Amino acid sequence: MQPQHIAICGNIGSGKTTLAQKLSKHYGWQALLESVDDNPYLRDFYGDMNRWAFHVQMYFLNSRFKQVNKIRATNDKTTVQDRTIYEDAYIFATNLHSSGFMSERDFQSYLDTFHSMIAYVQPPDLLIYLKADIPKLVRQIEKRGRDYEYAIRIDYLRNLNEHYEQWINNYTSGKLLVIDVNNLDFVTRIDDFAHIVSKIDLELNSLFNQAS
């Protein structure tokens, strides 16, 4: 029995999209990538977080909910998803609120919508967390050259990492694989990618044995 939903989570610049694409090619999975460039609020958000925080997060939340429904409606193939609906709420919206960029009123409205959606969401069969420290994230962000991301502050990335650690340490919704990517370059080094694949294979075998 093959898994239906594999999800990759991690901070901005941790390598989620690239890994999703490589795993898609390696395993023959369908890749469902985060619609970053399609978000009409993102560029405005990085220029004025206070004004656009609620808008940008609501767009991502709705987009992710559509993705999850699409994944579960596709029964005949495995989908690898770049970022999860949980991160939208527990990491990004929570961080914006605690950092003063999202008002209490907007945050509560956001959470109400999230909790209404999450009642209809099944967790992924396997969640892969790419753990990366700030220097690694900054290098990756600079390398991909999205001009609107140049405004991202170090303390913003650091706060996100803290929220990720808290969430991952308390994650109990399904199988979890944590991969420290600080010293890995799975794009240019074949051995590093093979190392990740071997870890995923162990988890997939475990899932298969549980289903048998």
Task: Indicate which residues carry an active-site annotation.
Answer: 82
End-to-end CA, the chain? 8
Q: Which segments of the chain does DSSP mark as H helices, in order? A: 16-27, 42-47, 49-73, 85-87, 94-98, 104-118, 134-144, 154-169, 190-211
Distance (Å, whole) CA 124 – CA 111: 21
Phi-psi region of 96 (alpha: psi -120 to 50; beta: other; left: phi over 0): alpha
Residue with tokens 């609620």: 54
The two tokens of residue 96 are 């914006």
As a whole number of angstroms, the longest Cα–Cα distance in the chain is: 52
Q: Is 125 exposed, middle or buried (0-12, 13-18, 19+ CB in 10 A)?
A: buried
Radius of gyration of the CA atoms of the chain, in A:
17
In the 8-state DSSP scheme, what is residue 79? E
